[in-house]
A and B are shown apart, each in its own frame.
Chain A
Amino acid sequence: MKINVKYFAMCREITGQPEEVIELKNGATTTDFWQVILEKYPRLEPYRAMSRLAVNMNYITDTIELNEQDEICIIPPVSGG
């Protein structure tokens, strides 16, 4: 299945793009997402432990199953304001 990944700030600098479509196996979870994304962009590794994920613009706290066309974003600790 295909999911849409968005990158902002430090993540955009590391991946070199604002967004992309990533192929995951059907039934993949957010844990599988991290595995695929870290294989593709090892420089994101330091952010894994500190970051949250947002799926369809909602923060998620536990591991969840992803669905075709979901929009996912890695959210390192924020520094707005």
Chain B
Amino acid sequence: MIRIKNTWIEITEAPLSVAAAYEFVVDETCGAVDLFVGTVRNQFEGKAVAALEYHGYAEMGEKVLQTLAERAFQQWNLGKIAIHHRLGLLHLTDISVVIAVSSPHRAESFEACRFIIEEIKKDVPIWKKEHFAEGEAAWKYTNPT
């Protein structure tokens, strides 16, 4: 976990809390909080998915997320950022990622939140294995569009 004044980064096997991320970023100088929550979906390209297993290089991943947060702070006028990613075996509707961004005005937090999730999908060293309902399982190494 990296927790400094305006940023809370965490890659963990523990369940994620949207409320905790929200509470961290909400700020009296900010009129907006944007939240992105990634959840486990029941299918991939028409095949029924039973569970997703996330595995990754947590220590490096937190460093990459910290750099992402710094880039977002440079690009937009933001209050605070929380980025939390889960590892381990997740079931349908479980939360895999939570991003919370606060800003004085809404446009900045919308844009920054979008930027952060798109960059996570390119650069954070985490992989998901799809466990299909029919029994087989496979690591994904390309991003869904």
Contact = CB atoms under 8 A, between A and B. Distances in A.
Contacts of B129: 9
Contact of B54 (A47, A50, A80): A80
A63 interface: no
Contacts of B55: 8-9, 12
B142 interface: yes
B121 A9 contact: no
Contacts of A81: 38, 85, 96-97, 117, 120-121, 124, 126, 143
A57 B128 CA distance: 20
A78 B121 CA distance: 7
B125 A75 contact: yes
Interface stretch (B22-30, B56-64, B72-80, B101-109): B56-64
Contacts of B96: 80-81
A54 interface: yes
Contacts of A13: 139
Interface in A26-81: 47, 50, 54, 57, 59, 73, 75-81
A77 B123 CA distance: 8
Interface in B110-145: 117, 120-129, 139-143
A13 B127 CA distance: 13
B143 A79 contact: yes
Given A8-B55, A57-B60, A57-B63, A79 B125 contact: no
Contacts of B140: 79
B124 A78 contact: yes
Nearest to B140: A79
B60 A76 contact: no
Contacts of B56: 8-9, 78, 80
Contacts of A6: 57
B3 to A, nearest CB: 19
A75 to B, nearest CB: 5
A44 to B, nearest CB: 12
Interface string B77-100: 000000001000000000011000
Contacts of A1: none
